[in-house]
């Protein structure tokens, strides 16, 4: 086994500041007050549609379909622009390039819509590293349904390791029955001990050794 699939937001990138700015821009257009960065961070993980639903609830709006669709369209339009505040987590770029150089096949499975996913990957010059990229709108279902992750592995041609940061990622890996490396510095809200994971790590420089151990173990089983 030599396939490693990554989540994006909260795993490879801290995109919460850009998401926060986009959300407050949408709220301003609606004549509504702002949310905090902490609120925006807590809404991330289940895709743009759920994010906007949580945004609406936070400012006291009901579940009105027309309002939701309008705000979602505005949010996506804002968020598909070049990222200004998003940052890679430490040692991410070096680790991804190193894994690629070592012969690992890399994939990406995120609930972020595919278009802004590719925008941010191109911005950081990471898109060429990934053989397969699945976004939140690539299939009829999103994580934690295991179908998107299974699709990435199917297109790669082999099973492997999933790397993510959140409750959604942990459940996805568990339902897909694959090893899971949990990055502890992302958007997780639950204690590490309560989440499904094979190994946890806080520095991407440690991931290559972890990946080799977990993939060798999986191949031997």
- The residues annotated as belonging to the active site are 7
**Residues pairing with 128 in the sheet:** none
Residue length of the chain:
221
CA-CA distances (angstroms) from residue 190 to 36, 57, 113, 129, 187? 20, 22, 25, 31, 9
Separation between Cα atoms, residue 36 and residue 21, nearest integer Å: 10
Label residue 191 left, alpha or beta by phi (over 0 means left) and psi (-120 to 50 means alpha). beta
**Are 170 and 183 spatial neighbours (Cβ–Cβ below 8 Å)?**
no
Residues paired with residue 119 on neighbouring β-strands, in sequence order: none
Question: Which is nearest to 199 in space by CA: 217, 219, 181, 218?
Answer: 181
């Amino acid at each position: 086994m030599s396939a490693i699939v990554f989540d994006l937001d909260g795993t490879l990138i801290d995109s919460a500041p850009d998401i926060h700015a986009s959300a407050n821009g949408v709220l301003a257009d609606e004549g509504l007050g702002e949310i905090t960065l902490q609120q925006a961070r807590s809404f991330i993980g289940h895709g743009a549609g759920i994010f906007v639903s949580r945004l609406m609830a936070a400012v006291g709006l009901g579940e009105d379909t027309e309002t939701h669709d309008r705000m979602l369209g505005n949010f996506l339009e804002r968020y598909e622009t070049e990222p200004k505040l998003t940052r890679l987590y430490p040692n991410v770029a070096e680790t991804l390039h190193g894994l690629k150089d070592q012969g690992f096949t890399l994939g990406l499975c995120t609930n972020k819509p595919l278009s802004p996913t590719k925008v941010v990957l191109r911005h950081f010059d990471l898109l060429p590293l990934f053989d397969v990229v699945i976004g939140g709108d690539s299939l009829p279902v999103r994580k934690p349904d295991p179908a998107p992750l299974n699709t990435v592995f199917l297109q790669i041609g082999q099973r492997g390791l999933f790397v993510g940061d959140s409750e959604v990622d942990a459940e996805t890996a568990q339902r897909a029955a694959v090893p899971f490396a949990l990055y502890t510095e992302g958007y997780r809200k639950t204690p590490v001990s309560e989440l499904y994971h094979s190994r946890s790590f806080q520095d991407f420089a440690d991931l290559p050794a972890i990946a080799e151990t977990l993939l060798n173990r999986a191949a031997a089983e």
